[in-house]
Amino acid sequence: MRVLVTGSAGFIGSAVVRRLKAAGAVVVGYDKLTYAGVAEAGSPVDALVKADIADPAAAEAALQTHQPDLVMHLAAESHVDRSIDGPAVFIQTNIVGSYVMLEAAARYWRGLDETRRRRFRFHHISTDEVYGSLGQTGQFTEQTPYDPRSPYSASKAASDHLVRAWSETYGLPVVMTNCSNNYGPYHFPEKLIPLTILNALEAKSLPVYGDGSNVRDWLFVEDHADALYQVVTRGRIGEKYNVGGDAERTNLQVVQAICDTLDEMQPDPAGSRRRLITFVSDRPGHDFRYAIDHSKITRELGWRPSVGFEEGLRLTIQWYLDNRAWWSAIRDGVYAGERLGARAE
């Protein structure tokens, strides 16, 4: 099995590469290596194409040269706060780039022989944020209407629609997944969990947006990678599957859990790290709550989350304690932890 993974040097892409290698696949990475493409050490690809997904000639050449049986499309701009400050690159990569990959994949797929055509899949990896924001109750199902609110989620919703269109109009055999918030090793330290871990380790203030009551459903990244593996190998053509962690937490609960776990694992002589928590102005348009109903993937493919939130958090914190060189280089170079996405025009 030969798999082309776009975004292979990113947080989730690298976990997908590890999962595919464990299953014996030959994996070709395709990644532009943007500021976020820093998980190469955790991404043991057999070959890496360093290119932009929005470059039609590069996409076509990668498919023709490496002849994949499956394409897993994860490359994207992924940070909501950055999409508020600068939406243009989100439109270019997430929408135009996905369109270019779909066109290249459809052309490649049409040229395959009958057996390989039947086996081929284009898997688009997306987010639960396309469904908008929930109140105190309810869960997103695969039937929930799209209602994206941020430039990031709108760009992912657009790419989901393009994937559906290429399936219905051109017959491209696609599968799609929409997943909740991930956390784990190699998470770029601009996102809530790794940023909080590192700031807490350095005794810096721990900013919480608004009053900290916004709720996310958290999934350990290796569980997500396994869900993606199950869907790309056994999912039904044309279907979408929601993936979630059964672990709803408010942002404040997440930050407090990090403080308490870190206090236990590496005590701070100055006292409980909860003292570092500070409430800052909210993210503009901050979705209140996301929650996922993953009963379809559980029923059809037998997948369910295997790592609970407290266990996953401990594994994640341990990974950051053990991999200081990886994150120090990022903190000293491309991103030191400054506030992003406060622009509200």
Q: Which residues contact 116 (CB under 8 A, 6 or more apart)?
A: 69
Of residues 128, 190, 226, 287, which has the active-site annotation? 128
* Interface with ligand NAD, residue 29, by CB under 6 A: no
Q: Is 128 a catalytic residue?
A: yes
**One residue of 4, 5, 12, 291 binding ligand NAD per CB under 6 A:** 12
Over the window 257 to 296, marking each residue x when it contacts ligand NAD by CB under 6 A and - when it does not, the resulting string is ----------------------------------------
Annotation marks residue 129 as catalytic: yes
Q: Restricting to residues 54-93, which ones interact with ligand NAD according to CB under 6 A? A: 54, 74-78, 93
Instruction: Tell me the residue nearest to ligand NAD as measured from the CB.
Output: 10
Task: Report the residue number, 76 or 163, with the smaller CB distance to ligand NAD.
Answer: 76
Asked whether position 48 contacts ligand NAD by CB under 6 A, the answer is no
- String of contacts with ligand NAD for each residue 96-115, x by CB under 6 A: -x------------------
Part of the chain binding ligand NAD (CB under 6 A), chosen from 30-38, 103-111, 137-145, 265-273: 30-38
Q: Which two tokens stand for residue 218?
A: 């958290």
- Per CB under 6 A, the list member of 20, 49, 53, 95 interacting with ligand NAD is 53
Contact region for ligand NAD (CB under 6 A) — 124-132, 138-146, 160-168, 226-234?
124-132
Rounded to a whole number of angstroms, the distance between the first and last alpha carbons of the chain is 48
35 catalytic residue (yes or no): no
Q: Minimum distance between the CB of residue 152 and ligand NAD, rounded to whole angstroms?
A: 8
Size of site (CB under 6 A) for ligand NAD: 30
Convert residues 134-163 into a mask of x (bound to ligand NAD by CB under 6 A) and - (unbound).
----------------------x-------
Active-site residue numbers? 128-129, 152
Binding site for ligand NAD (CB under 6 A): 7, 9-13, 31-34, 36-37, 52-54, 74-78, 93, 97, 125-127, 156, 179, 181-182, 188
